[in-house]
Amino acid sequence: MKTIIAACSQNLSGSRASVQTALRTLLAVPWPSQRDIHSGLQLLAVLQWVLSFLLLGTVSLLVLVYLLFTSFWSISVLYLAWIIFDWDTPEKGGRRLPSLRRWTVWKHFRDYFPVKLVKTHDLSPRHNYIIGSHPHGILCVGAFCNFITGSTGFQELFPGIQSFLTTLAGNFRLPLFREYLMSGGLCPVTRRAIGYLLSQNGTGNAVAIVIGGAAESLSCRPGVTTLILRNRKGFVRMALQHGAFLVPSFSFGENDLFRQVVFEEGSWMRSIQQRFQKVMGFAPCVFYGRGLTSSRSRGFLPYARPITTVVGEPVAVPKVRNPSREMVDKYHEMYICALLKLFNENKTKYGLSETDELHIL
């Protein structure tokens, strides 16, 4: 009996010593610093944004289809009925939630890169505007952060101006994803949707359009400053029809966020990309960024590179119901000149050299 008691006492002493050793080891581990915590929050903010844009619509669609074959089929039916009832809302100004723009998560998103908005001229609330956003990049990070979230102070820099951002109309056919987009102030890049904001929503509206679109994303890579703009004139025609001033903007650093495998013109892979783009509206880019656990690993998250979006001087545009081709060409050329001026005056301030030129195709 004494032997058993002695053995138990020895085990208890050993267990107590083991616990004490474990506690000492735990306390010796350095706690994460405030900087580490902020870095982690920034990474999570970017992760949720990337996953939302890449997966939210597709996953929601698959879940609703799956529910149709379960006892919860009524959820899918009710939501389908809601989409049919709400079909035209995206093209009538959407359903913006101002509180979403003020989410703290967008401040962490901004600080990850970081993203900065620079104002060069005032925008009067008495007019409406079409802001040309350049370049497209892979995921339009600069345009989203500056024109959809309030983290970079757009409303403070341009008081009385309400900003919108256009994206592919097909995105508004995806369940739940459409609600997410509309709540932030995104609208379809269609004549009807843009025309509504410029004519039926009063004044003080600034509709940002990423003019280069999917075709421009195929040439996105670090150090490249090539825009597809020469034959993109529809936005100028709309500006004339509604008397909306044209405003150039350029996001320096946008093309540095990802590395892309660029296929040469004429190659079979390039042909597949271009055909896919014409059918689906977006281009299947082969790109990579950093991984989730380390900036040195490869993954789908953007690299932390500074983005500075400079908003230039507005080009005054008259209201002409049926502008001629010559008038459209005239104001299109004026817009290009304003964009080139903006680029040349700011390129050396934000990471480019004096010899870098903006190539417009």
Question: 7: pLDDT confidence band, cut at 50, 70 and 90?
Answer: very low
Measured from the Cβ of residue 237, the count of other Cβ atoms closer than 10 Å reads: 18
CB 133 within 8 A of CB 181: no
CA distance 184 to 146: 12
Per-residue pLDDT, 32 = 74
- The four Cα atoms 329, 333, 334, 338 give a dihedral, to 10 degrees, of 150
Structure confidence at residue 261 (pLDDT): 72
Sign (positive or negative) of CA dihedral 63, 67, 73, 74: negative
**CA–CA dist 179, 72 (Å, integer):** 21
The tens digit of pLDDT for each residue in 273-294 reads 667 666 655 566 777 899 988 8
- Secondary structure in 3-state letters for 201-228: CCCCEEEEEECCHHHHHCCCCCCCCEEC
* Lowest-pLDDT range of 72-76, 108-112, 201-205, 223-227: 223-227
Cα–Cα dist 221/269, whole Å? 17
pLDDT digits (tens, 9 = 90+) for 331-345: 999 999 999 999 999
> Given this model, what pLDDT does residue 12 score?
43
Query: pLDDT tens digits, residue range 213-242?
Result: 877 877 777 776 889 999 999 999 999 999
Nearest to 307 by CA among 121, 134, 187, 163: 134
Q: How far is the C-alpha of 346 from the C-alpha of 254, rounded, in Å?
A: 15
Question: What is the Cα–Cα distance from 149 to 156, expressed in whole angstroms?
Answer: 12
3-state secondary structure of 338: helix
98: preceding bond cis by omega (within 30 degrees): no
Please report the beta strands in the chain, taking only residues with DSSP state E, as ranges in sequence order.
Answer: 115-119, 129-134, 162-167, 186-188, 205-210, 226-227, 245-252, 259-260, 287-290, 298-299, 307-311, 359-360
pTM for the predicted model, two decimal places? 0.87
Cβ neighbours, 10 Å, residue 167: 22
Amino acid 216: pLDDT: 83
Q: How high is the mean pLDDT of the chain?
A: 88
To 5 degrees, how large is the angle CA 156–CA 157–CA 161? 80
SS3 343: helix
Q: Which of 46, 31, 29 is nearest to 109 (CA)?
A: 46
